[in-house]
Structure 1
Amino acid sequence: MAVIIGIVGAVLSAGHAAAADCPKLYVLAVPGTWSNDGPGLLGPVTSGLGPETKVTYVGYDATAFPWESAIYGKSKAQAVDNVKGLATTMLRRCPGTKIALTGYSQGADAAGDVASEIGTGRERIRPGQVAGVVLLADPRRSSKDPLVGPPLTGQGSGGPRVNGMGWLTARTRTICIPTDLYCNTPRDYYLTRIVGYLAETSDPTPSQMAQYQAEAGAIVAEMLTGGGPGRIVEELSNARARQQIIAFNRFIQSGSHGDYTRFEVKPGVTAVQWAHDYLAGLA
């Protein structure tokens, strides 16, 4: 009897220890392109979130060009897989833990794709297991995603996610500086949108095929509606292409894509501060 009681006690103690090791909130933070040296802009977003929160920075190639370790599409797909793997592992060990997703730039692209798959029932993780999502400079930002900050007229350069965030829409927030062409490309910048589309499809992800087809169809349909076949020729002409290349170069030189530590979504509150406070409030 003493042996049985001892075994039961050991099992209960192990169970209590495991429960004690489980965070209330598990934040998966996906840094942007060329961020292999650390969390980058997400550092202040995820620091000091409280004792009941565990933060993991999701590692991936974080590259974009063929001469690097991976082209954009392949790099992002790696980030998506890593987010899912980390989340699933935590939820298996700690069923009561809630997941939160955040990302910047390419990292927001990946985190947003995972959130979309969860929210629309295409992933094993249930929407109820996700406490919230906050994305900064998301290249697939949709006008339907809940926006923090001033209103915008464009959308992400890679095209919006076909099914949106589904059941996670109410728990998702997106932040985009108006001058950031990655997340706020004017709808009539067709050449820029085509380049964004080609980046997204540079290494196609099977679960995103519907998105790729829809965005390609949307670009062609809008160009035809806006002026017929002649508009397509005009868009690809040297003058029009040069105009958009100049605009994009000015955007890159402006540094606005990395200005989220200073950009205020409301008086006195920067994008980074707002994202931090949103995550802190989820635990």
Structure 2
Amino acid sequence: MRKTITVIAVLIVLVLIGVGIVQYVNTSDSSDFIGQPGEPTGTETTEPPVQPDWCPAVEVIAAPGTWESAANDDPINPTANPLSFMLSITQPLQERYSADDVKVWTLPYTAQFRNINSQNEMSYDDSRNEGTAKMNEELINTHNECPATEFIIVGFSQGAVIAGDVAAQIGSEQGVIPADSVRGVALIADGRREPGVGQFPGTFVDGIGAEVTLQPLNLLVQPIVPGATMRGGRAGGFGVLNDRVQDICAPNDAICDAPVNVGNALDRALAMVSANGVHALYATNPDVFPGTTTNAWVVDWATNLIDNG
């Protein structure tokens, strides 16, 4: 009798051991497919980013031109230059929309251009690099805090170069925010302008940006514009943002409508420095957008993007 009970007990123990082994094997095999603890399994769902209630739906970033800004200016209510062309775009938008819905932020940067007539100013390269870094910083900060906020970027002259460079980085997926976060970009008098890159509302001009036409003669123009590297066009253009970038240039503006073949590099560099005449008249020039002005057109364009996404 005792022998029988012993045999039965041994059999029960063996069965329990066998069940344990099978469970262990099954668990080990399944781990090859579902991953270790804490690893994604392929069946998890990604939650959309949380947008705080205080975040604006849209942020308009405006980059003023040379001598129209300052590094310590107030980005919400800029006063460095009351005659800044960009104010004729930003102020109407601020009046139209609540700051809770649309944030209008003006790039505060040195905005200078050392040249033969102003040797004590910051060089164009340093001013442009400062502006680019500050614009990227604002994009990063807003996107991190408000991931669903979308951007409209506008720039004039040196500010257009900065805005265009940032847009090119974003469009090539090398920027600080995703391209899907950008609703539109407007570049007014872009010194790196190339026909066929971006969209061309208003009057189309055949010329190119001053930085493009002077790139082969960069060393020759340095005595006139020391520290201003003529970088040419933007390699790869605006990438996936190409259809969202508006390239605006007034006919005969030496900054964006320069001749392809430079007859006299020094004269062309001096024209870039002076940047007056046509370049200073975008708020009144009827030849850019027949029937209206550039600033009025940009306000309407931005309003449509804000209202209709």
- Would you call these one fold, judging by a TM-score over 0.5? yes
Unaligned runs of 5+ in 2: 1-49, 70-79, 213-232
In structure 2, the partner of 1:270 is 293
Match of 2:91 among 40, 43, 47: 47
**Take 1:261 and 1:26, find their aligned partners in 2: how far apart are those partners?**
23
CA 1:77–1:254 in 2, change beyond 3 Å: closer, same or farther? closer
Match of 1:47, SS state, is helix
In structure 1, the partner of 2:75 is none
Asked if 1 retains the 8 angstrom alpha-carbon contact of 2:251 and 2:257, the reply is: yes
- Which of the pair is proportionally richer in helix? 1
Unaligned runs of 5+ in 1: 1-15, 193-240
**Take 1:113 and 1:277, find their aligned partners in 2: how far apart are those partners?**
24
Asked if 1 retains the 8 angstrom alpha-carbon contact of 2:289 and 2:297, the reply is: no
Match of 2:248 among 175, 200, 208: 175
**Take 1:107 and 1:254, find their aligned partners in 2: how far apart are those partners?**
16
CA 1:45–1:158 in 2, change beyond 3 Å: closer, same or farther? same
In structure 2, the partner of 1:27 is 60
Deviations 1:160-186 (A, max 9, x none): 212111111111101111110100110
- 1:61 and 2:110 are equivalent in the alignment: yes
Task: Report the CA distance between 1:190 and its aligned residue.
Answer: 5.8
In structure 2, the partner of 1:112 is 164
Asked if 2 retains the 8 angstrom alpha-carbon contact of 1:61 and 1:69, the reply is: no
Give me the CA root mean square deviation. Answer: 2.4
Match of 1:38 among 70, 81, 84: 81
Tell me which amino acid in the other structure corresponds to 2:148: G
Task: Report the CA distance between 1:157 and its aligned residue.
Answer: 0.6
**Take 2:199 and 2:110, find their aligned partners in 1: how far apart are those partners?**
29
Asked if 2 retains the 8 angstrom alpha-carbon contact of 1:25 and 1:282, the reply is: no
Mean CA deviation greater in 106-115 or 261-270: 261-270
- 1:141 and 2:193 are equivalent in the alignment: yes
**Take 2:275 and 2:144, find their aligned partners in 1: how far apart are those partners?**
45
**Take 1:139 and 1:182, find their aligned partners in 2: how far apart are those partners?**
5
Tell me which amino acid in the other structure corresponds to 1:275: V
Match of 1:256, SS state, is helix
Task: Report the CA distance between 1:148 and its aligned residue.
Answer: 1.8
**Take 1:166 and 1:190, find their aligned partners in 2: how far apart are those partners?**
32
Q: Which has the higher contact order (CA 8 A, sep 6+)?
A: 1
Identity %: 30
Deviations 1:210-263 (A, max 9, x none): xxxxxxxxxxxxxxxxxxxxxxxxxxxxxxx56x578x39x9486211100012
Larger radius of gyration: 2
Task: Report the CA distance between 1:48 and its aligned residue.
Answer: 3.0
- 1:255 and 2:307 are equivalent in the alignment: no
How many residues align structurally? 217
Tell me which amino acid in the other structure corresponds to 2:285: F
Deviations 1:56-85 (A, max 9, x none): 111111011073342001100110110000
**Take 2:269 and 2:140, find their aligned partners in 1: how far apart are those partners?**
42
Tell me which amino acid in the other structure corresponds to 2:260: R
- 1:128 and 2:180 are equivalent in the alignment: yes
In structure 1, the partner of 2:11 is none
**Take 2:126 and 2:243, find their aligned partners in 1: how far apart are those partners?**
29
**Take 1:27 and 1:270, find their aligned partners in 2: how far apart are those partners?**
20
Deviating runs (4+, > 4 A) in structure 1? Answer: 251-254
**Take 2:138 and 2:59, find their aligned partners in 1: how far apart are those partners?**
10
Asked if 2 retains the 8 angstrom alpha-carbon contact of 1:26 and 1:99, the reply is: yes
**Take 1:30 and 1:70, find their aligned partners in 2: how far apart are those partners?**
17
**Take 1:154 and 1:245, find their aligned partners in 2: how far apart are those partners?**
15
**Take 2:143 and 2:126, find their aligned partners in 1: how far apart are those partners?**
26
- 1:74 and 2:147 are equivalent in the alignment: no
Asked if 2 retains the 8 angstrom alpha-carbon contact of 1:31 and 1:104, the reply is: yes
Asked if 2 retains the 8 angstrom alpha-carbon contact of 1:60 and 1:82, the reply is: yes
CA 1:58–1:254 in 2, change beyond 3 Å: closer, same or farther? closer
Match of 1:269, SS state, is coil
**Take 1:134 and 1:262, find their aligned partners in 2: how far apart are those partners?**
18
